[in-house]
Amino acid sequence: MNELKIIIGRSNESLGQAIASYIGIEPTKLLLTNFSDGEIRVQILENIRGKDVFIVESTQPPAENIMEVLLLIDAAKRASARRVTAVIPYFGYARQERKDRPRVPISAKLVANLLVAAGADRILTVDLHSPAIQGFFDVPTDHLTADGIFRDFLLSRMNDELKRGEVVFVSPDIGGVKRIEPLAKELGAPIAVVYKRRDAPNVSSVMFLVGEVDGKVAIIRDDIIDTGGTICSAAKILKENGAKAVFSLVTHPLLSGPAVERLAQSTLDMLAVTDTLPLKSSARENLGERITVVSIAPLLAEAIKSIHEEKSVSVLFEMKF
């Protein structure tokens, strides 16, 4: 693996370190600081000429995280890296992915254009808010899903309930049905849907439930938990309809605004998230054992090795982690 280099940005250093450790290499040495006025200063301190470079950086707010990955890509290209892959565990600015009303940007396309313009030769990301965003990139893009990580987590936690048919997968909205189908099918569980009308950004109104959850463990699967309103409302209606427990599997734990307080006061029994984003300390303090972090590092590390060795990435969907 001498030609593989891992560069870790500051948006999620712990995940980057875990990926490098899993692969068995040391992260590339960097000078990554800020000038006194706040501008980001980047210098790669090792020779990467002709190397296969992977830059690990999530692009959640603040926008400096996007600027940082752009500068890291540019620095790697100017240092004559053979190939630069932007590893973006959480692809931010993805919730405006279409022009659904007058005078709005298509933010996801803009960020995709910026990454390619900076010099990214390939993109590796996890659970895009909309799968169609994969087509926004004009370079090869590998779109992974956390389903395999969560599948193994569920099998270790509730294998008996799965065998007895006591588990139902729930989409918190109609648009997320396709997201829960693969995991439900693989584990042989039925699905249900919470119908929701969104009246404004970050505000949701739960209407009714489609499906049977009485006496079952209801598992809500979603890509993002932001303010927590959707999942908390879904958990309430599921309990009202007889669910004996409500778990939630969410890839990206943004947990902004009142999210932690809402979750602490909700009927949700457990929230499992991945480490595509650093978990806020307030979440651990207020939720305790009700929140679990399942690492995405093995999945991303295996994907990086497959890309580096020019092997198929699709086989990762069948791997056990």
**Sign of the CA dihedral running 160, 164, 165, 167:** negative
Q: Catalytic residue at 244?
A: no
Q: How far apart are CA 153 and CA 314, in angstroms?
A: 20
* Strand-strand pairing, 167-171 and 291-294: unpaired
Neighbour tally for 119: CB within 10 Å:
17
Of 12, 78, 50, which Cα lies nearest the Cα of 300? Answer: 12
For residues 227 and 262, is the Cβ–Cβ distance under 8 A?
yes
| Six-digit token string for 278 | 């650093």
| Six-digit token string for 238 | 């599921």
Residue with tokens 């910026």: 114
Q: How far apart are CA 181 and CA 174, in angstroms?
A: 12
For residues 84 and 55, is the Cβ–Cβ distance under 8 A?
yes
Q: Which of 5, 51, 109, 196 is catalytic?
A: 196
The C-alpha R_g of the chain, in whole angstroms, comes to: 20
Q: How far apart are CA 180 and CA 140, in angstroms?
A: 26
H or E element: which one contains 112?
Answer: helix 107-118
Residues belonging to the active site: 196
